[in-house]
Structure 1
């Protein structure tokens, strides 16, 4: 139980910290006239993210499985996903938010990761984060049921972001 509490507190602090950065950047972007796209999907995605975390925590408490290599694997995957999250935040700087905003002075990011992996925040952070979180808590049912649900919403989010990028950047 000590591992569960420690890991959940750690993960929550990391996510709240990134949310604080997002809120600060969002306020600045709005002041500068940035346009938000897909607000409804952003709300659903955020709710689903919280729901996934809560379901994994509840399943872990219910399962009460002893610490094993599965937890350790989940911790490694989760940690790598957080490294990617903070790398994306640093790379995108003031443009990074958990929502889709396009600012007037927005430029395409030509970093090699963004050229190689379309939407690295989703594929190198969010999906591994959810997989790592569920594995770290041995929340197999949450992973099996929750990840496909999340993927459907994330697919919609990616479509909206792709459209916003094409509208703003013809070369995209």
Structure 2
């Protein structure tokens, strides 16, 4: 893998790690408020699957001799940039309740977001960030096997998370 591609991949990892630090900080604050975590095992599997996907894409891209200066890589980079913009918009929108885990704060601190994005797109973090992020990184690195096989594997805990989140939100918020 050429140096430019490797540098961009490391930037992808760094950007994702920043979101983990935000999540960890929010999680600590939420738990001090009395927040409760749901679906712990699935959350752990999602985090593991996310990093495994990154590693698989990097290995596959490296073996294929992934190079940066072609239309496919630029398309992947564009998809990835879109996904990260959406990630940080979601973080900004829901602020202190955003985590990579399924955590519900006490009612006094957990308010449903009714903005345009959340009103018209259910689970924007998953559909506008996570899925495009994984597609973007695989396309950027020309990691077609990772995209096909890895995405199918990743969708198992992601669909489980969405179902868990739906059930928990309906249980805690009457007007969800």
Q: Above 0.5 in TM-score?
A: yes
- What residue number does 1:47 align with? 48
Query: For 2:111, which of 102, 107, 113 is the aligned residue?
Result: 107
Residue in structure 2 matched with residue 13 of structure 1 by the alignment:
14
TM score, norm. by length of structure 1: 0.98
Unaligned runs of 5+ in 1: none
Name the structure 1 match of 2:59.
Answer: 58
- Paired residue for 1:162? 166
Q: Residue 130 of structure 1: which of 134, 138, 146 is its match? A: 134
Show structure 1 runs of 4+ deviating over 3 A.
none
Residues 1:22 and 1:66: Cα distance change in structure 2 (over 3 Å): closer
Match of 1:145 in 2: 149
Using the TM superposition, give the Cα deviation of residue 65 of structure 1 relative to its aligned residue in structure 2, in angstroms.
3.8
What RMSD, in angstroms, separates the aligned Cα atoms of the two structures? Answer: 0.8
Matched, 1:87 2:94: no
> Gapped runs of 5+ residues in structure 2?
none
Contact kept in structure 1, 2:38 and 2:102, CA below 8 Å: yes
Q: Which residue, 70, 73, 95 being the options, matches 1:71?
A: 73
TM-score (norm 2): 0.95
